[in-house]
Amino acid sequence: MTEYKISQQLSCENKHIICYKDICKYNNKMSFIMNYIPNFTLLDYIEKRKDNDFKTNLLYLKQILKTVNYIHNKGVVHRDLKPQNILIYNGNVYIIDLSLNINPEQVSILKGTPRYLSPELWINKFDKDIDKKEMFEILKKSDIYSCGIIAYYLFFGDLPIDTSNIKILKSKTINGEIEIPKPITKNETIIYNIISSLLIVDYRKRPDINTILKMFE
The per-residue pLDDT string of the chain (217 residues; one tens digit each, 9 = 90 and over) reads 455 666 666 766 788 987 777 778 778 887 777 778 888 999 999 999 989 999 999 999 999 999 999 999 988 888 899 999 999 999 999 998 875 555 444 555 567 899 999 999 998 766 566 777 888 899 999 999 999 999 999 999 999 999 999 999 999 999 999 999 999 999 999 999 999 999 999 999 999 999 999 999 8
Q: What backbone torsions phi and psi does residue 87 show, to the nearest 5 degrees?
A: -95, 150
What is the structure's pLDDT at 39?
Answer: 83
What is the structure's pLDDT at 54?
Answer: 95
Domains of the chain, residue spans? 38-214
| Residue 204 near residue 194, CB atoms below 8 Å | no
| Residue 70 near residue 145, CB atoms below 8 Å | no
Q: Measured between alpha carbons, how far is 136 from 74 in angstroms, rounded to an integer?
A: 12
Alpha-carbon distances, residue 11 vs 37, 97, 98, 147 (angstroms): 13, 12, 11, 20
May I ask the CATH class of domain 38-214? mainly alpha
Give the dihedral sign, CA 140/145/149/152: positive
Torsion of CA 188, 190, 85, 39, to 10 degrees: -60
Q: Measured between alpha carbons, how far is 69 from 73 in angstroms, rounded to an integer?
A: 6
CA triplet 207, 116, 74: central angle to 5 degrees?
Answer: 55
| Residue 149 near residue 142, CB atoms below 8 Å | no
Contacts (Cβ under 8 Å, ≥6 apart) of 1: none
Give the dihedral sign, CA 192/124/111/14: negative
CA triplet 161, 165, 171: central angle to 5 degrees?
Answer: 60
What's this model's pTM, rounded to 2 decimal places? 0.90
Contacts (Cβ under 8 Å, ≥6 apart) of 2: none
Alpha-carbon distances, residue 55 vs 110, 139, 216, 217 (angstroms): 35, 29, 11, 13
What is the structure's pLDDT at 46?
Answer: 97
| Residue 201 near residue 183, CB atoms below 8 Å | no
What is the structure's pLDDT at 104?
Answer: 44
What is the structure's pLDDT at 174?
Answer: 96
